[in-house]
Structure formats: structure tokens, C-alpha cells
Amino acid sequence: MAKKREVASANLQNLYRIFTVPEAPDSTLGAIDQAISDDVSGFLQTHIVALERSLEEIEADFFVSAIPEEPTFVSEYTDFVKEKLVAQSVHTAAPGFVGHMTSALPYFMLPLSRIMTALNQNLVKVETSKAFTPLERQVLAMLHRLIYQGDEPFYQSWMHNSLHALGAFCSGGTIANVTALWVARNRLLAPIGSFKGVAQEGLVRGMQHLGCDGLAVLVSRRGHYSLGKAADLLGIGRDNLVMIETDAHNRIDLQHLRDSSRRLQDANIRPLALVGVAGTTETGNIDPLAAMADFALELGCHFHVDAAWGGPTLFSQRHRHLLAGIERADSVTIDAHKQLYVPMGAGMVLFKDPTALSAIEHHAAYILRHGSKDLGSHTLEGSRPGKALLVHAGLSIIGRKGYELLIDLGIERARVFAGMIQEHADFELTSVPELNILTYRYCPQAIRQALANSSAAVSCRINLLLDQVNQLMQKIQREAGKTFVSRTRLRVAAYAGKELTVFRVVLANPLTTEAILAEVLAEQCSIAQQPEVQELLLQIDELCRARAAV
């Protein structure tokens, strides 16, 4: 018994140590920590090895479902992290990793993230965040001002107003888009007369009150998939997320939008919101926002702009005109973990009307009391970390002009890369970059000529094979781990709007040089020589020759 008590007490002492004694600098974890703070890109380069291990092989290291009974030494665990996790991570910061929206981070983000983590503030309420609450309110005002350009008195009176918030910090663009449409729905179905509002009475009563058979959200085919989730979640239904055709430049087709709206009217379905995209996820194109603002006014519906990607284009004097009309949006989504270069997990939604978020306001007895400045009364999420610090740091340290440089650089680089693709005999540009995103595919000149001269049926068969070629090439390139592009399916105007498999490139990493982009193409050309790819290309060749023989 005494022995048992002794063991328990020893365990307790060990437990206290975990909370009170820092890792020694010469411990494994201390050493990694130091190595990262000394030279993160060096550390990542050395440790994220391009192992050609399949996911199935990696899974073997993550197959135990039982929670370990006994504690493990930190040093032992750190070895696991190094060998099994870091070594098998994706080097998202590598300049040759141009396939997705995750880029290198400015160095200062790391120590500031550590400060944020150590402070462990909770932004849901002032009692657990104090200065972080005014800080977050300030950041929301800064972004609001970037978009809506209100005047000084406007921000002085609204920024720290305890009854309102100019927007909401979120874990990402999805929650931002959901919040925007949630607000739109609750405002359309606000309390009036004996109707207590959709928030209180629910959607069925709301529809009865409105006297219509459904609500619709209109967005182009290139709208982000989070809008489908929002339509589902909010009870609107995915069928009522109306995907409008796009023009040759992946922008919403206004005539088609008009036609669809008429059809909705005939079906007694009320347009809840029109969503403009400022930087489509797959091609980086921007909808005609000003014309859409006009049309939303005509429809009498909420106008939301999903600028998760393209929002920071507003920093650029040269390019901000591309987003003209965004200042007329009722709400705008911007992701900080994209082109504000903040670590993963930081999105925002801003509202033109500083009282808009009242539509989703909520309270609780132990926090978020009426009149408190707690930000949690106006957010979809509850407890949240102090990520606003990192956005604030970016805006302060990089400044408007610094972000402008980054934006201009990316757009310029995309133009250069588009030129390289167009000049290359083996590639075909499938979307002209408007911002810093473009798509292309492997399609040698001879095949392009054959496609131009073939019957629709043959051309279709060739394209199906090319889809396989491009899919396979992307997979081989990804697994080799030297450079990385992503892939998607895209309707391409040059092929009568047929959906093709294409490579997708996002050029946001300032360290991506033209030489690296040339390497991406060179690597793809060499992959095309691999037997599996050649086999498919031979089949295409046969189709082309059969056509020539006719």
C-alpha cells in the first residue's frame, strides 16, 4: 500500500514536471526547436525527404488505435515525430510546390505563433483575451476598410462598439462563407410582426411567412465547394445552389444568370444571395463584380463576394481595379492563411453594414452577456485562438506596399509562366491567368493539330486519353516529390466547353523563380517519356494516324 502510494506520488511529480520544466535545449525536441528557429527552410529541406513511399506504407506507422497506457519520454516521442511525421510531410513551403494555395511563411510568423500559443488566449470573451479582443476588432476594421473604404468617423464609432462587430474571424474561408450566407438568410427572414424570424422559428415557418417554395443561392460553376456545404447546412438544399455557366474566361455569364433567375421566379423560389468569386480556386478568375452588384440590387438579394483567394489583390494599385464592385458587396470572405501569408487556420468575413451580424447574435449567462465586448456573441465558432495577432503582424511588418509587391510579383510570374507554356511545343494553356493561378495540360503540338482536324467523336476519344495522360503525369510528379502541380477538371472553351483534366498552378510563393518553373515543365517532359505514359501516348498516336489515313 505504501509502495503504491509512493508510485502514485512519483507519477504525480513527473506530471507536474511536464507543466513546469521546459525541454532542455540539448534534448531532441529542444534541438529541433532550435534548428527550426535558426533556419526553417533549411530544416524543412533536410527533413522533408521526397520518399517515394505510398500512403498505404505510411499508414503502417499509424495503425494502433489503443491509447498508450503508460507515458512516453518526450525524447522518444520526438524521434517518432522526426522520422515518421516530419520526414513524411509535404514541403508546402518549397518553391517548386506550386500546386496548392499553401506557400512559404515569413520567418517572423514562427516566433509570433509561439507567443500566441504560449499566451493561449481565447477570443470568445474578453475575460480570456483582454488586449486580444481590441486587437481582433482592429484587424477586422483594417480589412473592412481595405474593402469598403469607410471614413475615419465610421471606424471610430463601430470598431470597438460593444453591440456589434464589423466581421468575424473564422478558422477558414468555409466558415466565413457559411457565416455570410447564414446572416443573409436570417436577414431575409428577420422577425417582423408576429413572425419571430427564422433563427427562432425555423426555416419551414420562414418559408410560409415569405410565401415562397424555397431559397436559392446563385454562383458561377467555378464557385468554391464550401457553398454547397453552406446550402446543405442552412437547409436550403444543394439543388438550390444554382451553378451559373461561365464565359470563356471562367467568369459568370450574366445572360445565363438572368435566365436562371427568371426560372427561379417562375418556380416561386426566392434568390437569397448572389455570390461573386474574386479569384476562383481553380483558375484565379474574377467575376464581373460591379455588374453583379447591380443585378443583386435588381433581385433584391444579398451580394456576397468570396475573395478568400483574391481579396489581397486590393493591396495592389495596379491590379485592384480587377475587383471593382467588391465595395458594393454586403459581405466579403478573405482568407489570411492564403495571400496574407499567415499559418493555416485563419479566415475572415466582413460585412458592409456594421449591424449585419446582429442577425446571428447570441448570448449565454456565463459569457457573451449583453453589452459586453466579447466577440463570441457574433461568431459561428465558440472558443478561438488569437490568430488575429498574426494577421496584425503581417499587415504591420509587411505593410500595404509589401503585400502589393507580393501580389504584383505573383501576377507577373503567372504571365511569364503562361508565356513559357504557350511557347512550349508540348503544352497547352487551358486558362489565361488573370491573377496568379493558371491551368494547362500536356498536349504536344502534333496532337493539338490532330484534335483541330478530327471529327467530334475522335477528338473526344483523344481527349479522354489525354485526361489519363495528365492525371498519370501529375501522380508521378507528386510522388517523385521534386516539384508539384495539382490537377482538376475544367470546361475549356477551346474544346467547345468540354471538361478536361488539367494541371493547376498557384504562384504565391515569392521564392518560386522562373528557373524553377522551367524545371517543372522539364520534369513533366521527362515524365512523359516514362513507359506508362508512353503507352497512353501511343494509343493517342494511333488515333491520330487512323484519322490521317482516312
> Among 202-210, 293-301, 348-356, 539-547, which window interacts with a second copy (CB under 8 A)?
202-210
Residues from 345 through 404 that contact a second copy (CB under 8 A): 345, 360, 362-368, 373, 380-386, 389, 393, 395-402
Shortest Cβ 455–a second copy spacing (Å): 27
**324 lies in the binding site for a second copy (CB under 8 A):** no
Residues from 50 through 69 that contact a second copy (CB under 8 A): 55, 58-59, 61-69
> Among 33-41, 242-250, 411-419, 423-431, which window interacts with a second copy (CB under 8 A)?
33-41
Please choose, from the candidates 455, 508, 463, the residue with its C-alpha nearest in 3D space to the C-alpha of residue 489.
463
Query: What order do you get walking across the sheet with 347-351 strand by strand?
Result: 167-170, 347-351, 331-335, 302-306, 269-277, 214-220, 241-244
**86 lies in the binding site for a second copy (CB under 8 A):** yes
Query: Under DSSP, is residue 10 helix (H, G, I), strand (E, B) or coil?
Result: helix
Question: Residues in contact with a second copy, total (CB under 8 A)?
Answer: 183
Shortest Cβ 3–a second copy spacing (Å): 17
Residues from 427 through 466 that contact a second copy (CB under 8 A): none
Shortest Cβ 449–a second copy spacing (Å): 28
Shortest Cβ 427–a second copy spacing (Å): 19
Q: Which is nearer to a second copy, 202 or 419 (CB)?
A: 202
Dist CA 123 CA 132 (whole Å): 7
Print the SS3 string covering 322-359: HHCCHHHCCEEEEECCCCCCCCCCCEEEEECCCCHHHH
**32 lies in the binding site for a second copy (CB under 8 A):** yes
Q: Which is nearer to a second copy, 110 or 496 (CB)?
A: 110
Helices first, then strands: H and E counts in the chain = 20, 11
Dist CA 521 CA 545 (whole Å): 27
Please choose, from the candidates 311, 340, 347, 303, the residue with its C-alpha nearest in 3D space to the C-alpha of residue 147.
311
Phi-psi region of 323 (alpha: psi -120 to 50; beta: other; left: phi over 0): alpha
Residues from 499 through 538 that contact a second copy (CB under 8 A): 504, 510-511
Residues from 467 through 506 that contact a second copy (CB under 8 A): 478, 484, 486-490, 504
Out of 6, 45, 46, 204, the residue judged to bind a second copy by CB under 8 A: 204
CB-based contact 268:227 (threshold 8 Å):
no
**7 lies in the binding site for a second copy (CB under 8 A):** no
Shortest Cβ 542–a second copy spacing (Å): 29
**550 lies in the binding site for a second copy (CB under 8 A):** no
Longest pairwise C-alpha distance within the chain:
96
* Single-letter amino acid, residue 24: A
Q: Apex CA 502: angle with CA 285 and CA 513, to 5°?
A: 70
